[in-house]
């Protein structure tokens, strides 16, 4: 899992150690606990909401209230679904508007070299997004199992091996 933390605007408002958000649970949880105005949204939900706002002619207010209002915006699951060219341009608007104005955390299971596939294979938009995301950021590359799988592996009560399918095997 890859997480990019862009901390530019929080630098003056929060101590450096408070920016070290732990991702054991929901990304951004510590920020919320420290009363930092934050918003968590999956990439697909955000794109869907932006498309709806555009149809309803309230795109600018959506950007102002949903994208720009929080000090910390957490966008989860980038790359889970590929975006259309129009959606990729909407996503660029989010990153571009927040660039150097708001802290942003994005999560993805894809390495940066695969991000063009997310954004309708548009290398120009992909480069522009990555350029803004990676400037002033910390990239955290998390290798291995997710915390969910680790917890499930450690939970011996189910008696099943997560990587081995054997419906006959049950705990006695």
Sequence spans of domains, the chain: 2-144
Give the chain's residues under pLDDT 50: 1-2, 7-25
> For the domain 2-144, what is the CATH superfamily, name and number?
P-loop containing nucleotide triphosphate hydrolases (3.40.50.300)
> CB–CB of 84/26 below 8 Å?
no
pLDDT at residue number 5: 54
Is residue 114 a contact partner of residue 79, using CB atoms and an 8 Å limit?
yes
Q: Give the pLDDT score at 135.
A: 93
Does residue 2 sit in helix, strand or coil? Answer: strand
Taking alpha carbons only, the member of 104, 111, 112 closest to residue 43 is 104
Q: How far, in Å, CA of 154 to CA of 164, rounded?
A: 15
- Please enumerate in sequence order all residues whose Cβ is within 8 A of that of 89, keeping only pairs 6 or more positions apart, or say none: 125
Give the C-alpha separation, 94 to 14, whole Å: 23
């Amino acid at each position: 899992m890859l997480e990019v933390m862009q901390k530019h605007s929080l630098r003056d408002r929060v101590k450096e150690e408070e920016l070290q958000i732990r991702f054991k649970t929901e990304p951004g949880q510590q920020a919320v606990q420290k009363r930092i105005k934050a918003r968590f949204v999956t990439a697909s939900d955000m794109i869907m909401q932006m498309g709806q706002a555009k149809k309803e002619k309230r795109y600018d207010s959506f950007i102002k209230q949903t994208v720009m209002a929080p000090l910390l915006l957490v966008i989860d699951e980038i790359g889970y679904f590929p975006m259309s060219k129009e959606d990729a341009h909407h996503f660029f608007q989010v990153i571009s508007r927040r660039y150097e104005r708001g802290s942003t955390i994005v999560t993805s299971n894809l390495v940066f070299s695969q991000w063009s596939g997310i954004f309708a294979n548009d290398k120009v938009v992909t480069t522009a997004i990555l350029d803004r995301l990676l400037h002033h950021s910390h990239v955290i590359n998390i290798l291995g199992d997710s915390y969910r799988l680790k917890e499930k592996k450690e939970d011996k009560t189910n008696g099943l091996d997560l990587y081995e399918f054997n419906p006959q095997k049950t705990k006695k």
